[in-house]
Amino acid sequence: MVRLERPPSLNSSSSPTTPRPKAIPPAPSLGRRASRNGKDDNGVSGRVRVAVRLRPRNSEELKNDADFADYVELMPELKRLKLRKNNWDCETFQFDEILNETASQKRVYEVVAKPVVESVLEGYNGTVMAYGQTGTGKTFTLGKLGEEDAADRGIMVRAMEDILADTSSEQGSITVSYLQLYMETVQDLLAPEKDNLTIAEDPRTGDVSLPGATSVEVRDPKSFLELLEAGEANRIAANTKMNTESSRSHALLLVNVKKSVRVKQDKDMTVPNENGASLQISKAHNVPTIRKSKLLIVDLAGSERVDKSGSEGHLLEEAKFINLSLTALGKCINALAENSPHVPIRDSKLTRLLRDSFGGSARTSLIITIGPSPQHRAETMSTILFGQRAMKVENMVKLREEFDYKSLCRKLEADLDRLIAENERQNKVVLDAEEQLQRGMEEAELTVQQAERRAKTLLEESTAERVRLQKENMERIRRLQQECSQLEKELTENAHKLRSEKEVAVLEKEMHLQTERDRKHKEMEEWMQEHQLKLAEVAGKFEAERVQREAVERRLQELEDGTKARSKLELEDQEHLHQLSRKMEEESRLREEAVKELGEWKSQRSAVNIKESAGLKEEVKFLRQEVEEQLKQRELLEREVKDLKQHLLQLSYDADETKKFLEREPSKISLGSESPMSLSKPHHMRETINGQRATIAKLFEQVGLHRILSLLESEDIDVRVHAVKVVANLAAEESNQEKIVESGGIGSLLRLLDSSEDETIRRVAAGAVANLAMTETNQELIMAQNGIKLLSRTANEADDPQTLRMVAGAIANLCGNEKLQRKLREDGGIKALLGMARLRHPDVLAQIARGVANFAKCESRAAAQGHKREKSLLIEDGALPWVVTNAGNEVSPVRRHIELALCHLAQHEVNTADLIAAGALWELVRISKECSREDIRVLARKTITASPTFQAELRRGQTSQVYQ
C-alpha cells in the first residue's frame, strides 16, 4: 500500500537551496525488514540507496579532453566522488556506492540491484532505476541482453535469472509487463496496439496499477529474453549528436512475483476476509499465506540540452516531454527530501507510476550514470545533485503478505464435509431412537386410551345402575307413603266407631302395620347393602385401571429417562428431546386432571364439542374466503406494480440516455432563463425527447397521476427514483403542472425532499419543484408548505453540482415573486442561495445570479411604486460583496444576471451609499461602457445619471467627463 505521509528524513544534509557542501556524511542504510507475519501496518523506514557509475571515455573524448583528463576523480574505497572545477578547486560528494569505468556488469548488479531482488523474493516491493545524461550508459546498465557476451548481461536479465531460480512453478508464479512512457502516454511494448494505457489508483490503499497492460507469465530465462527483444524492438529511439541510439521514452519493466508460504500459528487468531468480515482460525491450522511483490526496473530517457543534441522537429517535441517528466520527478524528489507538506505527484505520469518508489513502501535503489568529459560539466553536476537529493528520501518498507483464502476455504470445506457426514450419522442414531420412542409412546397412548374407554364404560354402567336403584327406592318409598296415608285415613274415619268396641282389633292392626314396616325397612337395608357391594366392585375395577395407568406412566417415565440419557450424547438434539419430555409431562398432568374431572364434564363434552366444531368450521370457512379474496387483490396489485416498474424503468433508461447525450455534447446545452431543467435541445434530439414524452403521457393515461404520486412513498428506493423521474418529466410540461398541483404533487415532492437521503432523488425532486415554481399560485403553495426551508436545508447539505443547480433554480424562481420576498428572506432563502456559491460551479453560479437578479428586480419595482422605502434585503443579508466580485465573471449567464442585479439595486437611492462603499459604482461605469448587451448598457447609464449621489461621487473621482 502506498503511503502518502512521509516519515521524517534520517539524512541531515542541507537542502538544495543552501550552498553545496564539500563533503556529505554517509546516510543510514536501509532499515530492518518488517515483521514476517504480515501484521506490521506501519512498516520499517528505509532510505533510497544511490550508486554512481562512470562511463569509460570514448575515442572523441580521449582526443578532446587530453588536457583535463582527471576532471572526475573516483574514490571507491571511501565511496566518494570529486568533481574538479579547475586545477585548484573541486567539489566532493558521498554516495552509497562508487563504480568506476572498469566495474563489471556483475559487480554493478550485485551492488545496486541484488539487495532489492532479494527483498522482492521475501515479499517486499522493489525499484531499480537509472538516471543520467543521454549517452552515459543507462540502457547498457539495465537492459543489455548479453547476446554476444554473457558477461555484458544487464540488471533486467540478471534480476530475472535470480527470481526464476528462487521461485518454482508449484509455489508461485511470475508475470512480466514491459511498458514505455512516450510523450506522456503509457504504451505497451509487448502489444504495440495498446498505445494509451490508463493509470488506475486504488482509492483505499493508493496502489498504482495499469489494468490494460499485457501481463505474460514467465517460466524460464529464454522466454524472458524473447519478451525483452520484442519489447526493445518496439521501443522508440533516434540518432542525435549526443547518442546514435538515444532512447526517446522511459522504459518500465514490471515483474510481479507471487509465492505461497505456510506460517505455523502459536495461538488462535482472527483475520479479516476478502469481504471485510472477521474469520476465526484455529492454531491447529497451518495458515496458507501468499506474498505478492513486484520489481520495477526503470530505464529513464536521458536528459539533454537541445543546443548540444541538435534535436529539431519531432525530436524537439520528444525532448520537451522527456525534460518535462524528468523535471516533475526532480520536483517530487526535492519535496520529499525537504519534507514539504505537498508533493506534486500528479504533475506527470512518470511521477504517478513511481509513486511507490519514492516516499512509498518499496525498497528503492538508484544508479546515476555520468560521463567523464568536462564539456558536459553542467549535466554531470545536475545528475549528481539529483542523486544527493534522492538519498534523503525515506520509504516505509512493508511486507506484501496476505492470507490464501481459497486454500483455507478448500481445507475448511473438507473439514465441514467430514463434520456433516459425522452429524448425519449421529442424526440417524437420534432418528432411530426417536422412532423407537415414538413407537413406545404410541403403544402407551393406545393402552391409556383403552383404559380410558374401559373406565368410561364402567362409570357409565355404574351411573346408570345407581340411577335405576334410586328410582326404584323412590318408587317404593312413594308407595309406602301412599299406603301409610291411606291407612291413617281409614283409621281416622273409623276411630270413633272402633274406639270402644274394637280396641283389640285396632291394636292388632297397628301391630300388623308395624310388622309390615319392619319388613319393608329390612328389605330396604338389604337392597342398600347389595348396592354398596356393587359400588365397591366398580371402585375396585376403577382402582385396577388406575394401577394399570400408573404402570403405563412409569413405563413412559422410563422411556423419558432413556431418552434423556441418549440426549446427553447428542448435544445438537438436546433441546428437541427436552421439548418432547416437557410435552409428555404436560400430557401426563393433563391426563390426571382429565381423570379427576371425567365425571364433571364428560356428559357435557359431546354437545359443547359439536357446537364449537360447527362454529369453528363456519369461522374457518369465512376466513378462507377472506384470505382468498386478499390473495386475489394482492396478485392484482403486484401485477400493477410490475407494470409500473417496467414503465418507470423504460422512462429512466430514456432519461439516462438523454442525460448521457447532453453530457457528451455540453457545448450544445444552454441554461434556461426560467428553470434549471429547461435545456435548449438540438434538432437531432427532438425525436428522442418526443418519444419520452409520448411514453410518459401513455403511462399517465394508463396508471393515473394519483397512483404515480403514491409510488413516491414506496419502500423500494428504485421505485421512488423512477417515480420521481416520471413526475419531474410531467412537471416539465405546463399542461401537466395544474394536474400535479391538484393531486397534491407539491406536498409529495417536498416530503420526498425532506425524508430522502438519496442524492438522485433529491436532485430530481428539486428539479420538479423548480419547474412547478414558475407560476405565482404554485410559488405561494410551496412557501405555505415550508418549501423554502426544505430547499435551504438541502442547499446546505448537498455537495453534488447538479443537485445544487436544481435547488438554486427553484429558489431563483421563488425570488421573482414580490409578495414572498420577506417570507423568503425570513426562511433563510437568500443566505442558502449565496451559500451554494461555495462550489463555484458555473451552472450553479448562473442560477444564483438569476435569483439575485429576480430579487433585485422585484425590489426595484416595489421602490418605483412607492411600496418599499428601506434598504435592500439583499444588502442586509450580505449579498453585495459577492455581486461585486462576480460582476466580471467569465461565464456569460452569470455576468449578465449580475449586471442586471447591480442596475436594479442602484435604481433605489437608499442603496447608493452601500454600493459606493462596496465599489459597485465603478462596476456600473464599466457596465455602461463594456457590456455586450445594449439594453443593459443603456439601463446602467440611466441609473448613474439619475442618481445625484452617484454623480457627486463621480465628480469627486474626476470621472464625470465620461457622461458629458
Name residue, grid cell 301391630.
Answer: 511
Residues in the chain: 964
- How far apart (Å, rounded) are the C-alpha atoms in residues 89 and 330? 27
- How far apart (Å, rounded) are the C-alpha atoms in residues 491 and 78? 164
Name residue, grid cell 522466454.
Answer: 223
- How far apart (Å, rounded) are the C-alpha atoms in residues 609 and 479? 42
Among candidate residues 131, 163, 64, 597, the one with its CA nearest the CA of residue 379: 131
- How far apart (Å, rounded) are the C-alpha atoms in residues 746 and 750? 6
Among candidate residues 863, 864, 831, 861, the one with its CA nearest the CA of residue 848: 831
- How far apart (Å, rounded) are the C-alpha atoms in residues 589 and 642? 55
Cβ atoms 333, 393 nearer than 8 A: yes
Exposed e or buried b per residue across 86-120, where buried means at least 16 C-beta atoms within 10 angstroms of its C-beta: eeeebebbbbbbbbeeebebeebbebbbbbbbebb
Cβ atoms 889, 898 nearer than 8 A: yes
- How far apart (Å, rounded) are the C-alpha atoms in residues 461 and 598? 14
- How far apart (Å, rounded) are the C-alpha atoms in residues 823 and 821? 5
The four Cα atoms 370, 376, 379, 382 give a dihedral, to 10 degrees, of 80
C-alpha cell, 907? 435604481
- How far apart (Å, rounded) are the C-alpha atoms in residues 604 and 607? 6
C-alpha cell, 284? 491447529
Cβ atoms 126, 171 nearer than 8 A: no
Q: Which residues are annotated as a binding site for ATP?
A: 132-139
Helix axes 734-742, 717-731, angle to 10 degrees: 130
DSSP 862: H
C-alpha cell, 469? 336403584
Strand 216-217 with 172-182, pairing: antiparallel
How many CB atoms sit inside 10 A of residue 43's CB? Answer: 21
One-letter amino acid for residue 329 of the chain: L
- How far apart (Å, rounded) are the C-alpha atoms in residues 731 and 725? 10
One-letter amino acid for residue 350 of the chain: L
C-alpha cell, 482? 301412599
C-alpha cell, 811? 429558489
Give rounded-to-5 percent helix, strand, coil for the chain.
60, 10, 25
C-alpha cell, 28? 543510514
In sequence order, what are the beta bridge partners of 440?
A: none
φ, ψ for residue 128 (rounded to 5)?
A: -125, 125
How many CB atoms sit inside 10 A of residue 614's CB? Answer: 10
Cβ atoms 347, 329 nearer than 8 A: no
- How far apart (Å, rounded) are the C-alpha atoms in residues 675 and 811? 10
In sequence order, what are the beta bridge partners of 178?
A: 253
Cβ atoms 855, 848 nearer than 8 A: no
Helix axes 745-755, 787-797, angle to 10 degrees: 30
- List of E strands, 203-277: 208-209, 216-217, 237-238, 246-247, 250-264, 269-272
Angle at 785 between CA 824 and CA 859, to 5 degrees: 20
